[in-house]
């Protein structure tokens, strides 16, 4: 393990971070197996900052996000570490205080609006209910806000759409409605779990641009989880590349994309086809590790072409290749 978790994070910002995570670990235990989904994630998110978490299936990116908002099933998931959202320890919240916290301080949007929205209530009723529950205002006032919100997310003829059911809307419109619902109580932190993945490319870019504008106008901090390098480049100020439940590289988007300092990031960028036609893709050999039995050292070592003896011994600590750019690779440490 690295000597001190606190030492290896970026120097404290001028203002306190809105999200502060230290050594987050999530395991899912059942009778015959234990899956190590998140294995020591630490980061700070400043107010108004957009962090992109980039990773493939099973890297732990969605589990990390769900841990931040208390959505993991308590019976199966064991959460360790320190999660502070707006100064409060979220892991100790439950019941009504947790419900009060969600929506007002932190909200989440999902990949599938059809399953995130309630199919038997109109869009207007769902937004209204949320506002009344959290702010105790009248239904009339809440309805007026709902109309403003649909306008804010650029849904055409918003007054008519308030009375629409989710199934009556197209995929892009449903995604906008879900964003409106998430923003209904003006959260300062928005978690986004692949919200553009299920959309067509011409609709995807509309939603990305909308989220970028809302983030800027409302000054929200955003954590955006995606498997798509292009999408993360479009939205994130800072990137965290995740592999086998760890942040293997973090840094400003531009630095990570232009000068990746972890072999996995390098491989992921190579696998994202931008090379000339007819050439072979520099694919990463092998497959991600079994999260039930992680290797003791670097989880990427079995697929890494630079791997050495010392990679297999211990999990590499985080090295700073620049003040704000880190990598968990022994090669960067010399």
Partner 1 sequence: MSPRLLTVRDLTKHFPLKGGLLGTSRGVVQAVDRVSFDVHEGETLGIVGESGCGKSTTARLLVRLIEPDSGEVTFDGATVGRRPSENAHTTIGLRELRRQVQMVFQDSYSSLNPRLSAAASIAYGPFVHGMARAAARERAHELLQAVGLDPGPFANRYPHELSGGQRQRINIARALALEPRLVLLDEAVSALDKSIGAQVLNLLADLKERFHLTYVFISHDLNVVRHISDRVMVMYLGKVVEIGDVETLYREPQHPYTRALLSAMPSMDPSRRTLEAPLSGDPPNPINPPSGCRFRTRCPIAGDVCAREEPALTAFDNAGHAVACHKVLLPSGSRRAA
| Single residue of 179, 229, 241, 307 touching partner 1 by CB under 8 A | 229
By beta-carbon proximity to partner 1, the closer residue of 140 and 167 is 167
Stretch that binds partner 1, among 14-22, 62-70, 107-115, 230-238 (CB under 8 A): 230-238
| Single residue of 97, 148, 272, 296 touching partner 1 by CB under 8 A | 272
| Single residue of 70, 124, 166, 267 touching partner 1 by CB under 8 A | 267
Rounded Cα–Cα distance for residues 124 and 143 (Å): 7
Backbone phi and psi for residue 151, each to the nearest 5 degrees, phi listed first: -65, -40
Taken in order 255, 230, 263, 191, the sign of the CA dihedral is positive
Q: C-beta of 233: minimal distance to partner 1 in Å?
A: 5
Q: C-beta of 56: minimal distance to partner 1 in Å?
A: 4
Task: List the interface residues with partner 1, window 21-50 (CB under 8 A).
Answer: none
Stretch that binds partner 1, among 80-88, 131-139, 164-172, 319-327 (CB under 8 A): 164-172
Half-sphere CA count of 289, side-chain side, radius 13 A: 24
Instruction: Work out whether 206 is an interface residue with partner 1 (CB under 8 A).
Output: yes
Instruction: Work out whether 205 is an interface residue with partner 1 (CB under 8 A).
Output: yes
Rounded Cα–Cα distance for residues 132 and 175 (Å): 22
Rounded Cα–Cα distance for residues 151 and 326 (Å): 40
Instruction: Work out whether 274 is an interface residue with partner 1 (CB under 8 A).
Output: yes
Instruction: Work out whether 283 is an interface residue with partner 1 (CB under 8 A).
Output: yes
Q: Do 51 and 97 touch, CB atoms closer than 8 A?
A: no
Q: Do 204 and 122 touch, CB atoms closer than 8 A?
A: no
Q: Do 233 and 201 touch, CB atoms closer than 8 A?
A: no
Q: Do 36 and 23 touch, CB atoms closer than 8 A?
A: no
Tell which residue, 46, 48, 55, 44, has the closest CA to residue 82.
44
Tracing tokens 């509309």 back to the chain, one arrives at: 206
Stretch that binds partner 1, among 27-35, 36-44, 170-178, 306-314 (CB under 8 A): 170-178
Rounded Cα–Cα distance for residues 266 and 74 (Å): 36
Instruction: Work out whether 287 is an interface residue with partner 1 (CB under 8 A).
Output: yes
Instruction: Work out whether 271 is an interface residue with partner 1 (CB under 8 A).
Output: yes
Stretch that binds partner 1, among 30-38, 69-77, 138-146, 273-281 (CB under 8 A): 273-281
Instruction: Work out whether 285 is an interface residue with partner 1 (CB under 8 A).
Output: yes
Tracing tokens 């090379």 back to the chain, one arrives at: 275
Q: If binding means CB under 8 A, how many residues of this protein chain bind partner 1?
A: 44
Half-sphere CA count of 81, side-chain side, radius 13 A: 23
Binding site for partner 1 (CB under 8 A): 56-57, 156, 170-173, 200-206, 208-209, 227-231, 233-234, 253-254, 257-258, 267-268, 270-275, 277, 280-285, 287-288
């Amino acid at each position: 393990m690295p000597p001190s978790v606190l030492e290896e994070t970026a120097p404290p910002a001028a203002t306190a971070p809105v999200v502060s995570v230290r050594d987050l670990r999530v395991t899912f235990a059942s009778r015959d197996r234990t899956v190590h989904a998140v294995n020591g994630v630490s980061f700070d998110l400043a107010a108004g900052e957009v962090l992109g978490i980039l990773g493939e299936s099973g890297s732990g990116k969605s589990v990390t996000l769900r841990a931040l908002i208390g959505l993991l099933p308590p019976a199966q998931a064991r959460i360790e570490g320190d999660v502070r959202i707006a100064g409060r320890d979220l892991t100790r919240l439950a019941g009504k205080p947790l419900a009060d916290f969600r929506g007002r301080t932190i909200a989440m949007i999902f990949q599938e609006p059809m399953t995130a929205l309630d199919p038997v209530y109109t869009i207007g009723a769902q937004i209204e209910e949320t506002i009344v529950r959290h702010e105790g205002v009248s239904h009339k006032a809440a309805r007026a806000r709902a109309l403003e919100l649909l306008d804010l997310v650029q849904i055409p003829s918003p007054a008519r759409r308030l009375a629409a059911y989710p199934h009556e809307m197209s995929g892009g419109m449903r995604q906008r409605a879900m964003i409106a619902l998430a923003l209904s109580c003006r959260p300062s932190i928005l978690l986004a779990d692949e919200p553009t993945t299920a959309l067509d490319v011409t609709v995807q870019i509309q939603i990305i641009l909308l989220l970028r504008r809302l983030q800027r106008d409302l000054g929200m901090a955003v954590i955006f989880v995606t498997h798509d390098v292009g999408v993360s480049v479009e939205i994130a100020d800072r990137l965290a590349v995740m592999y086998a439940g760890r942040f293997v590289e973090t840094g400003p988007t531009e630095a990570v994309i232009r000068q990746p300092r972890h072999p996995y990031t390098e491989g992921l960028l190579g696998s994202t086809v931008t090379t000339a036609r007819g050439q072979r893709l520099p694919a990463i050999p092998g497959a991600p590790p079994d999260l039930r039995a992680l290797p003791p050292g670097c989880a990427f070592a079995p697929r890494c072409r630079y791997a050495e003896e010392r990679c297999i011994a211990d999990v590499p600590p985080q090295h700073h290749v620049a003040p704000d750019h880190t990598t968990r690779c022994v090669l960067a440490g010399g």
